[in-house]
C-alpha cells in the first residue's frame, strides 16, 4: 500500500541502512546470544517482499516450479479438496514460492535463530507449547488460534483414538488428550524436530485479529471480564462501569499497540512469535484461504487413514468476509492501523499477505 510505504528503497539506501542497522540490531540477550530488532527485521522483509512482488508483476515467477513438498500441478487429492482447486494451481505455486523465498531471505540472516535452542527462554517456551505431537503419524503441528486450530485438534484426538470422529459435537478441550512438544525432554524434542513432518496454517493478520476481536469480546464472558473491562478502563473516559462486552475495535487495536508481542494472549500474538518459522523449518505452510485443500494435502503427507477428512465448518460459525474486514478497517483511524502494522509485519511479509488498503479512495467505495 503506497499509503504505508511510498516507494521501495534504492540499492544505495539499502546498503546504508543495512550498514547502520548492523550496529543497532544485535543487543545481547540474557543468554549472551544476539537478537535481531523488529525494525531491522521489518526492513529486511519489506525489501524481500517488494522485490518478489516486482518479479511477479514482470512475470518472472510465472514458470517457477512448486516446492518439492507440494503436489504436482493437476494432482487431485484422494480426499477431494473442499475449495475445488488443485493444490498445484499456478497462483498457489507462485504464492508458495514467494513464501519460501521470503522465509529463506529473512531466516538466512546471521542474527536469526537456526533452532529452538538458540531462542531466548520465553520464546522457546512459547513455540514448544504450541507444537502438538503425533508420534504415531510422526508429525508436529504448530497450532495458531483463529486459524482452524480447533478442527486440527479434533483430528489429532481422532488419530490418537481419544475421539471417535471429527464430527462429534463436543466442546473442544484444548488441553486434554493432546501431546505438547514442550512437555518432552530436550533430546526427545530435538529428535522430533529433526525427523518429523512439520506444518502450520496461517491467515491474513488483520482478518485474524478481527476474528479474535469479534469472538472473544462479543461472545466469551471470560475474555470480556479478563481483558475487555481493562481495555475499556484504560482507553475510555468514564469506562469504569463497562462489563467488557462493548470494547470497540479501535480500543482493541490501541491495546495491542501497547502490548509487547511476546507477552500477548495467543489469540492475537503474531504467528511469527507463536511458531518461530526461522527456528523451526516447517515442511508445509497451509493457508486459511485454502483450508480444506491444504489440510487434506497434509493428511495425505502424514498418511493418515483415508476415512479421516478435515471437518466441515460449523453451521453457527460466522466467517470474517472481506467486506466485513474492510468495513472495520475503513472505520478505524488510519494512523492507528499504520502504527500497529510493524508488530505484524513479519506475518504479512513471510506469509505473503498484502498490507491492508485503507486509502481514502478505497474506503469511499
pLDDT above 50 for 240? yes
Higher-pLDDT residue of 22 and 254 is 254
pLDDT digits (tens, 9 = 90+) for 145-184: 999 999 999 999 999 887 877 776 666 666 778 999 999 9
Q: How far is CA 77 from CA 22, 84, 92, 124, 160, in A?
A: 46, 10, 15, 35, 23
Tell me if 182 sits within 8 A of 129, measured CB to CB: yes
pLDDT digits (tens, 9 = 90+) for 86-139: 456 778 888 888 888 999 999 999 889 999 999 999 999 999 999 999 999 999
Only one residue has cell 540474557, namely 30
Q: Do you know the residue count of the chain?
A: 365
Burial class of residue 303 in the structure, from the number of CB atoms within 10 Å of its CB (0-12 exposed, 13-18 middle, 19+ buried): exposed
Give dist(CA 226, CA 229) in Å, integer. 7
Instruction: Render 9-50 in DSSP notation, one character per residue.
Output: PPHHHHHHHHHHHHHHS--B-TTS-B---HHHHHHHHHHHHH
First to last CA, the chain: 16
Of 106, 123, 99, the residue nearest 276 (C-alpha): 123
Only one residue has cell 493437476, namely 74
Only one residue has cell 480426499, namely 79
According to the model, what pLDDT value does residue 62 have? 34
Amino acid at each position: 500500500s503506497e499509503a504505508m510505504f511510498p516507494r521501495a528503497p534504492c540499492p544505495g539506501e539499502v546498503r546504508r541502512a543495512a550498514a547502520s542497522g548492523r550496529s543497532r540490531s544485535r543487543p545481547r540477550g540474557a543468554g549472551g546470544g544476539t537478537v535481531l530488532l523488529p525494525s531491522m527485521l521489518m526492513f529486511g522483509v519489506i525489501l524481500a517482499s517488494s522485490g518478489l512482488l516486482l518479479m511477479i508483476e514482470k512475470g518472472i515467477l510465472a514458470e517457477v516450479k512448486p516446492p518439492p513438498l507440494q503436489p504436482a500441478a493437476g494432482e487431485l487429492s484422494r480426499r477431494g479438496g473442499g475449495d475445488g482447486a488443485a493444490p498445484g494451481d499456478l497462483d498457489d505455486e507462485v504464492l508458495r514460492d514467494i513464501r519460501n523465498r521470503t522465509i529463506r531471505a529473512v531466516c538466512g540472516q546471521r542474527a536469526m535463530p537456526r533452532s529452538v535452542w538458540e531462542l531466548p527462554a520465553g520464546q522457546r517456551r512459547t513455540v514448544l507449547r504450541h507444537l502438538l505431537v503425533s508420534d504415531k503419524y510422526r508429525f508436529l503441528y504448530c497450532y495458531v488460534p483463529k486459524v482452524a486450530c480447533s478442527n486440527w485438534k479434533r483430528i489429532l484426538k481422532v488419530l490418537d483414538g481419544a475421539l471417535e470422529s471429527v464430527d462429534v459435537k463436543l466442546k473442544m478441550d484444548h488441553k486434554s488428550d493432546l501431546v505438547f512438544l514442550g512437555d518432552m525432554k530436550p533430546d526427545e524434542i530435538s529428535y522430533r524436530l529433526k525427523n518429523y513432518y512439520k506444518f502450520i496454517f496461517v491467515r491474513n493478520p488483520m482478518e485474524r485479529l478481527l476474528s479474535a476481536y469479534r469472538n472473544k469480546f462479543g461472545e466469551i464472558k471470560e475474555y470480556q471480564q479478563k481483558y475487555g473491562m481493562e481495555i475499556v478502563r484504560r482507553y475510555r473516559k468514564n469506562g469504569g462501569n463497562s462489563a467488557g462486552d462493548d470494547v470497540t475495535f479501535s480500543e482493541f487495536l490501541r491495546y495491542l499497540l501497547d502490548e509487547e508481542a511476546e507477552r500477548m494472549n495467543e489469540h492475537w500474538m503474531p504467528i511469527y512469535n507463536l511458531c518461530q518459522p526461522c527456528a523451526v523449518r516447517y515442511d508445509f505452510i497451509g493457508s486459511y484461504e485454502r483450508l480444506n485443500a491444504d489440510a487434506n494435502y497434509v493428511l495425505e503427507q502424514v498418511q493418515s487413514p483415508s476415512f479421516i477428512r478435515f471437518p466441515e465448518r460449523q453451521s453457527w460459525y460466522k466467517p470474517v468476509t472481506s467486506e466485513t474486514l474492510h468495513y472495520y478497517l475503513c472505520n478505524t483511524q488510519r494512523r492507528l492501523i499504520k502504527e500497529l502494522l510493524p508488530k505484524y509485519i513479519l506475518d504479512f511479509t513471510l506469509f505473503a499477505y498484502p498490507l491492508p488498503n485503507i486509502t481514502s479512495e478505497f474506503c469511499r467505495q
